[in-house]
Amino acid sequence: MTATSQDDLLQGEGDLLAVFEQSYRPSKRAVGIESERVALFDDGAPLHYHSDPARPGVDAIFAQLIERHGWTPTAPESDGGPVLGLERARANITLEPGSQFELSGAPHDSLHGLQAELSQHREEMRSLSLSPKLHMLGLGFQPYATQGDLDWVPKSRYPIMREYLPTRGPRALDMMRRTATVQANFDFGDERDAMRKLRAALGLSSAVSGLFANSPMKDGARQPVKSERALVWLGMDPDRTGLLPFAWKKGASLSDYAQWALDAPMFLVKRDGVATQATTHSFRRFMAEGFNGHRATAYDWETHLKTMFPEVRLARTLEVRGADSVPLPYAVALSALWTAVLYDDAALTAVEETFVPFGHDAWHALRPRIAAEGLHTPIGKTTVGALLRSVLPVAVEALGRRALLDADGQDERRYLDPLLPLVADDRSVTDALLDGWSPDQPGALASLMARCEF
């Protein structure tokens, strides 16, 4: 970052809300995807950032993507610093702290474009010449590697997070280095639209987590849960995670969201490529007092918003964050489900009437049980699966109303097809992929990779 301009300094709440207000797109209904993957070699060893004599690292993968597929390195954090990501057109490849690989896709006007982008990315990754062979897996949690088996991506904020977050929750390092998710991003037209979508998405989020649960392995052993990743997030910093209780009340505003973020401790202040730990300060205190001679800027505020990790996050888009990483057809299905709900009034209303009335406290209390039992989890006098069965047909109809056709004349409804048999039978993604699989069976590793390859 260059030297702070006086014009960048935050003066009050109006400046805080500007990041949302400048993002209003009343007539735009794009969808983007962020797909993280766990990367394992043929022998089950995890991908590291640096190559070693036995295995290539991220640096070798980046080199091939640059040479063969037209990706270019993103600007390093400092002059001569390591390459931490790639970009091409409006898409990026980035890294989580344990070298989980992430495609941050471009915004698309239809799910057809999103599906094509993911398919191209998958083929590019499969085309790499690596020995031993590397597999990108749609799993929500690293199935074999322990913390000691992983290295750290050399990004400036990660040492700060590594030191601070474990003081706020026991699963912090697992979140950083052993989890992987698939997220989708959506537009909002104005404040009312943003808060309506936020509330509805929070209402549906726990059920979506149960449906897309796909991480039953930890430390080489199968766990008595469907989503280890979901349990990890229950052991995280409560100041910046969860289902945002304030957002469920009628009349909740963007100001309420800003006030919540203001009171969370910061990770860092970054100037001229140098990151300084600032966990002693909430952003509210930073605005009032400054930090190490620096005053709060719009850049700082946007950076801070990206360090907030609720199940649904607001910034320049609305980001739904509650699903485990899954193979490609299910990743597109996740995007399709959320596209239907967030961009169709009838589907949004159905979620508001079916899921939201149970309220924050009920859904929050059920999160551990949903991680273990998925769609069988009871809520009130019904179950999570039954609620989804009442809404999924509405989502199918919503995508039909969009009437966006691909080159073969098919509309977007087909992307929900992988979910229909699951919801009908109260199954999660992991039940479809790993039913009958055991880590103790002959050829277990190869079978796991074949079943869960992205």
144 in a domain, yes or no? yes
Residue type, 238: P
Per the CB < 8 A criterion, the answer to whether 246 and 256 are in contact is: yes
Mean pLDDT across the chain: 96
pLDDT exceeding 90 applies to what percent of the chain? 96
pLDDT value at residue 3: 40
Tokens representing residue 136 in the block: 């990108």
pLDDT exceeding 70 applies to what percent of the chain? 98
Give dist(CA 415, CA 116) in Å, integer: 12
SS (H, E, C) the chain: CCCCCHHHECCCHHHHHHHHHCCCCCCCCCEEEEEEEEEEECCCCECCCCCCCCCCCHHHHHHHHHHHHCCEECCCCCCCCCCCCEEECCEEEEECCCCCEEEECCCECCHHHHHHHHHHHHHHHHCCCCCCCEEEECCCECCCCCHHHCCCCCCCHHHHHHHHHHHCCCCHHHHHHHECEEEEEECCCCHHHHHHHHHHHHHHHHHHHHHCCCECEECCEECCCCEHHHHHHHCCCCCCEECCHHHHCCCCCHHHHHHHHHCCECCEEEECCEEEECCCCEHHHHHHHCECCECCEHHHHHHHHCCCEECEEECCCEEEEEEECCCHHHHHHHHHHHHHHHCCHHHHHHHHHHCHHHHHHHHHHHHHHHHHHHHHCEECCEEHHHHHHHHHHHHHHHHHHHCCCCCCCCCHHHHHCCHHHHHHCCCCHHHHHHCCCCCCCCCHHHHHHHHHEC
pLDDT value at residue 79: 87
Domain CATH code at residue 145: 3.30.590.20
Tokens representing residue 300 in the block: 């700082």
pLDDT value at residue 273: 82
Question: Does residue 90 surpass a pLDDT of 50?
Answer: yes
139 in a domain, yes or no? yes
Question: Does residue 1 surpass a pLDDT of 80?
Answer: no
* pLDDT, tens digit, 9 for 90 and up, residues 305-361: 999 999 999 999 999 999 999 999 999 999 999 999 999 999 999 999 999 999 999
Question: Does residue 196 surpass a pLDDT of 80?
Answer: yes
174 in a domain, yes or no? yes
Confidence of residue 7 (pLDDT cuts 50, 70, 90): low
211 in a domain, yes or no? yes
277 in a domain, yes or no? yes
Question: Does residue 6 surpass a pLDDT of 80?
Answer: no
What's the number of domains the chain is made of?
Answer: 1
1 in a domain, yes or no? no
Range 69-91 average pLDDT: 95
* pLDDT, tens digit, 9 for 90 and up, residues 269-316: 999 888 999 999 999 999 999 999 999 999 999 999 999 999 999 999
* pLDDT, tens digit, 9 for 90 and up, residues 205-256: 999 999 999 999 999 999 999 999 999 999 999 999 999 999 999 899 999 9
Tokens representing residue 323 in the block: 């699903």
* pLDDT, tens digit, 9 for 90 and up, residues 111-167: 999 999 999 999 999 999 999 999 999 999 999 999 999 999 999 999 999 999 999
CB neighbourhood size of 433 (10 A): 18
Residue-number span of the structural domain to which 370 is assigned: 6-452
Q: What is the pTM of this model?
A: 0.96
170 in a domain, yes or no? yes
321 in a domain, yes or no? yes
